[in-house]
Amino acid sequence: MLGPSGAAYVFLFPWLAGFLILTAGPALYSLYLSFTDYDLITPPRWAGMDNYVRIATNDPTFQDAVRVTLTFVLLSVPLKLAVALGVAMLLNRGLRGLTIYRAIFYLPSLLGTSVAIAVLWRQLFAADGLINNLLLGVGIQGPSWISSPDTALYTLVILAVWQFGSPMIIFLAGLRQIPADIYEAARMDGASKSRQFWRITLPMLTPVVFFNAIVQTIDAFKAFTPAFIISGGTGGPINSTLFYTLYLYQEAFGFFRMGYASALAWILLIMIALFTAFSFLTARYWVHYDD
């Protein structure tokens, strides 16, 4: 008869098998492939550090992908968190039908990464799309938003910000945990609404802000579907929407440079790991916990 430890391993076996076969195994194999020249047809040929040297010294497209991705992250994440916090504060004021509003605002987070929404977004911001038709109604001739390198990326930023529902729900839960008597004491001391926000709400929400920032930044680094659909898989115009993941996809399944794409994937992992480590190192200076 199995003891407690044996029974635990029996229940854990499906997860362990899935982790080793579907996650750890492919990840380690991609690490090996990153040091090879592999085209999915012929066997991998050992290339040493050639892929990483080319990325660092002789790949301007890689630099474009990093620049576009960092721009997208730095614009979309703060804006999304600001909108999510603002809506959460409105919902926290005790509106009637809160459950309905919460579901409506959360819905874009469920639909926003789908192909259908990306296609809809492309139609909205096309030269003859709904946005330009609305602008034309007030006498403004709008550009072709997705066809101009000056504006194409910003349409993707707007799409990302529109998906504020997930961090909003987390912010709303955090707001519910702030004791009401703190606000009552602040009002008695004559603190204005803005002062209450900066001195009470925001400091006590910093753990939630920290969590949301980490999760949303990682998601922004991994964004793929909107850029792929809106640019037709090219990252255009002029690489203005060439997200890092889209460039990785092109190298792997467009040019069949699987070894090079594996190296790109591991560099993305390192970039996300460095960001996460930096965030945790600096959190001690601005994230305030109960203790």
Q: What is the pLDDT of residue 129?
A: 85
Position 268 confidence tier, pLDDT thresholds 50, 70, 90: very high
Q: What is the pLDDT of residue 98?
A: 74
Q: What is the pLDDT of residue 288?
A: 86
Q: What is the pLDDT of residue 25?
A: 92
Q: What is the pLDDT of residue 217?
A: 96
Q: What is the pLDDT of residue 228?
A: 93
Position 1 confidence tier, pLDDT thresholds 50, 70, 90: low
Q: What is the pLDDT of residue 37?
A: 95
Position 53 confidence tier, pLDDT thresholds 50, 70, 90: very high
Q: Is the pLDDT of residue 8 over 60?
A: yes
Position 64 confidence tier, pLDDT thresholds 50, 70, 90: very high
Cβ atoms 167, 212 nearer than 8 A = yes
Position 2 confidence tier, pLDDT thresholds 50, 70, 90: low
**Distance (Å, whole) CA 197 – CA 190:** 13
Position 115 confidence tier, pLDDT thresholds 50, 70, 90: confident
Q: Is the pLDDT of residue 291 over 60?
A: no
Q: Is the pLDDT of residue 113 over 80?
A: no
**Distance (Å, whole) CA 229 – CA 249:** 13
Q: Which residues of 179-217 are buried (b: 16+ CB within 10 A; e: fewer)?
A: eeeeeeebeeeebeeeeeeeebbeebbbebbbebbbebb
Contact partners, residue 72, CB within 8 Å, separation at least 6? 153, 156, 157, 160, 220, 223, 243
**Distance (Å, whole) CA 76 – CA 78:** 6
CA dihedral (19, 22, 27, 33) in degrees, to 10, reads 150
Q: Tens of pLDDT along 203-261?
A: 999 999 999 999 999 999 999 999 999 998 899 889 999 999 999 999 999 999 999 99
Q: Is the pLDDT of residue 89 over 60?
A: yes
Cβ atoms 16, 232 nearer than 8 A = no
Q: Tens of pLDDT along 159-217?
A: 999 999 999 999 999 999 998 899 999 998 888 989 999 999 999 999 999 999 999 99
Tell me the pLDDT of the chain averaged across its residues. 90
Neighbours of 128 (CB within 10 A): 10
Q: Is the pLDDT of residue 156 over 70?
A: yes
Question: What does the pLDDT average to over 117-134?
Answer: 87
| Burial classification of residue 81, based on how many CB atoms lie within 10 Å of its CB (0-12 exposed, 13-18 middle, 19 or more buried) | buried
Query: Which tops the pLDDT comparison, 195 or 143?
Result: 195
Position 11 confidence tier, pLDDT thresholds 50, 70, 90: confident
Q: What is the pLDDT of residue 216?
A: 96
